[in-house]
Structure 1
Amino acid sequence: MNHDRMRLASALLGVTAIAAIALVPVTPAQADPSIKDVKSKVDRLYHEAEQAQERYNDAKLDLADLRSDLAALRADEERQSDKLEAVRDQVADSVLRGYQGESISTVGQVVVSDDPTAFLGQLSTMSGFNDLQDTMFDAYSTELEALDLRREATADRAAEIAETTEQLAAEQESVDEKLADAKDVLADLEAEERERLLSASRSGEARLPASVPASGRAAAAVAYAMAQVGDAYVYGATGDNAFDCSGLTMRAWGAAGVGLPHSSSAQYSSGPHISASALQPGDLVFYYSPISHVGMYIGNGLIVHAANPGTGVAVSGLYSMPYVGAVRPG
């Protein structure tokens, strides 16, 4: 009897164990990332690299300005040094003449003078001489202080240049890292999947318009930009066969005779701001906050821009990215 009970208990335990196993949740294998997820990651890395590149472009402009200021300060410092040297020579000559007894000789001549008028004239002359000495010493002190100020300004500007140069190196490193990360993400995909990803990236491109209604300088700028559609996107490039976003708009308006800086944020300050409802072909349109991308409006709700390394120079919708505002160059 006890033996039968033991067999029954064993059987029940077995059934319970099987049921328990059946109830344990099975963790599914980690699913491969979808094309949409990978595309989103690559686009994000491309944009982060573009942000770093635009900061690099801004730093280059700052560096050029700083170097120009430094050259002017050094020239001013040299002129001030020459002025100080001239005053120093005058003071030294005045002191030397005093030590040689010129002032005493003048006093003697005044004392022995029998002519009161001559005495007063000589006294006035001696007083004027002393006043001249005081004036020269004051001038020397003033010029010396001015030179010190210029030397300090020169040193400050040189320090700013060193700091900006370090910033350039850091931003370039950031661009390289983000681009390498994007390439690594793409490299992890099979060739067929990678091509599907790039095709998905290009699927957002708009069809080229038959013509763009523009006139004057804007027509020349639009014509240049549209002629580059299909060219490569390369960070920091300004042509002739590869561009970054601000490099393309700079070259396009340069072809129209209008100079623009190689920086999207700097280009945002290059002309009057235009509302979206008043956009005309040739206007520059800006994206993201802080601004890190620029394109050119070509009408019908479309822009031409250097998009990213996966897309190159292409035509896209005006609101295909977070829109900030527009500027009309020229």
Structure 2
Amino acid sequence: MAAHRKPRQSPLSGHTARTAVTIALAGAATATGFDGTGHAEPRFTPAQVKARVDKLYQEAETATQKYDGAKEKADAAQHRLNTLRDEAARRQERLNTARDALGSIAAAQYRDGGIAPAWQLALSSDPDRYLDDAAFAERAGDRQATAVARVREQLREIEQLRGASRVELTALRSRQAELRRQKRSITGKLDQARRLLAQLTPAQRAEATGDGAAAGHASRSASGTRDELEQAGSAAAPDARAAAAVAYAYAKLGSPYVWGATGPNAFDCSGLVQAAYHSAGISLPRTTYAQIDAGRRVSRSELQPGDLVFFYSGISHVGIYIGGGRMIHAPNPSAPVRVAPIDEMPFAGATRVA
């Protein structure tokens, strides 16, 4: 019976095998397209590239503000940890001194404590002197008890400092982990934006990023900058400090954007604002989320030079208003510090800090 059976057909023979291989290769290519590795970026029109790059820069700016906030908290945690450790070291030194003193007292008592006080009085060649000495020893005993209590208190304080140090160390490590996460997010988005921009011609890239306008601002002479400052209405700034902040921002035109930077030679958006007002004697928070609450809110119709203008629903970007519907800001890694219309991004609010 076995001799009459038909041979089994391979499920991947002939045309079926070729079809399966074709499907498998197509699936592999599709999977590669989704995970973004091992293939060139999809080709887009210049307008599509600009829209996508703008979105990536906005997302990177949001991550940058989170990075800046986490770094500020990490720096504060590190400072508190260092302070606690320094204080614990000082307390430990005082404790060691107190322990040495108690050790000396204990050794003296051990040497002299074998004779009962009554026999010491009887054998003393000078009973009156002995009685004076005994009263002193009693007072010394009281002081010793106080010293012992002080040592115990110092031990408790040192343990409390060490406990607080452990809490701060845990907080610091958490902040550092957050910094690493945000850094990966930022660099990933910026790398993707660079790959997209690399598809464009130099002229298209300049149009997509506004590099032509930025180069014009960066190449202006000092006298030209002063003229533009006057034209921007610096005299209308609410006070001298706002005018000083605007002047600082003008002096930084052409400086590169570097995420996390606060100057003096590179900035991110909130870093430029913070540095400008620091030069005017006003301390501002580090992030856009905090800067918007650092002064009095003003409407768009009330804007004056020196006001901080914020953008996007997440308050992820900020510039310094200079009048005439324009601001100075640090846009993104593709463009340096420059003058731009406030209409180029979704307006979210404004604050007057001076």
TM-score > 0.5 by shorter chain: yes
Measure, in 1, the Cα distance between the counterparts of 2:210 and 2:139. Answer: 90
1:186 deviates by 2.5
Question: What is the number of equivalent residue pairs in this alignment?
Answer: 292
Residue 286 in structure 1 maps to residue 310 in structure 2: yes
Does the CA contact (< 8 Å) of 2:65 and 2:316 recur in 1? yes
Question: What TM-score do you get using the length of structure 2 for normalisation?
Answer: 0.67
1:282 deviates by 0.8
Q: Specify the alignment match of 1:86 in structure 2.
A: 97
Q: Specify the alignment match of 2:298 in structure 1.
A: 275
Measure, in 1, the Cα distance between the counterparts of 2:134 and 2:173. Answer: 59
Residue 211 in structure 1 maps to residue 236 in structure 2: no
1:313-328 residue pairs with structure 2 within 5 A?
313-317=338-342, 320-328=345-353
Does the CA contact (< 8 Å) of 2:297 and 2:349 recur in 1? no
Give the letter for the 1:307 counterpart: P
Give the letter for the 2:59 counterpart: E
The alignment partner of 2:318 has SS state of: strand
Question: What TM-score do you get using the length of structure 1 for normalisation?
Answer: 0.71
- Residues 1:104 and 1:323: Cα distance change in structure 2 (over 3 Å): farther
1:194-233 residue pairs with structure 2 within 5 A?
194=205, 196-198=207-209, 210-212=231-233, 213-214=236-237, 215-229=239-253, 231-233=255-257
Measure, in 2, the Cα distance between the counterparts of 1:124 and 1:72. Answer: 44
Q: Specify the alignment match of 2:273 in structure 1.
A: 249
Measure, in 2, the Cα distance between the counterparts of 1:139 and 1:36. Answer: 75
Give the letter for the 1:328 counterpart: V
The Cα RMSD (Å) is: 3.9
Does the CA contact (< 8 Å) of 2:232 and 2:324 recur in 1? no
1:45 deviates by 0.6
Aligned match for 1:155, one of 166, 171, 174: 166
1:75 deviates by 1.9
> Which structure has the larger Rg?
1
Does the CA contact (< 8 Å) of 1:238 and 1:247 recur in 2? yes
Residue 100 in structure 1 maps to residue 121 in structure 2: no
Give the letter for the 1:137 counterpart: V
1:294 deviates by 1.6
Give the letter for the 1:274 counterpart: R
The alignment partner of 2:259 has SS state of: coil
- Residues 1:243 and 1:121: Cα distance change in structure 2 (over 3 Å): closer
The alignment partner of 2:232 has SS state of: coil
Question: 311-320 or 213-222, which moves further after superposition?
Answer: 311-320
Q: Specify the alignment match of 1:308 in structure 2.
A: 332
- Give percent identity, aligned residues only: 33
1:121-160 residue pairs with structure 2 within 5 A?
128-160=139-171
Does the CA contact (< 8 Å) of 1:288 and 1:323 recur in 2? yes
1:323 deviates by 0.9
The alignment partner of 1:294 has SS state of: strand
- Residues 1:126 and 1:224: Cα distance change in structure 2 (over 3 Å): closer
Structure 1: gaps spanning 5 or more residues: 1-30, 203-207
Q: Specify the alignment match of 1:64 in structure 2.
A: 75
Does the CA contact (< 8 Å) of 2:308 and 2:318 recur in 1? yes
The alignment partner of 1:308 has SS state of: coil
Q: Specify the alignment match of 1:178 in structure 2.
A: 189
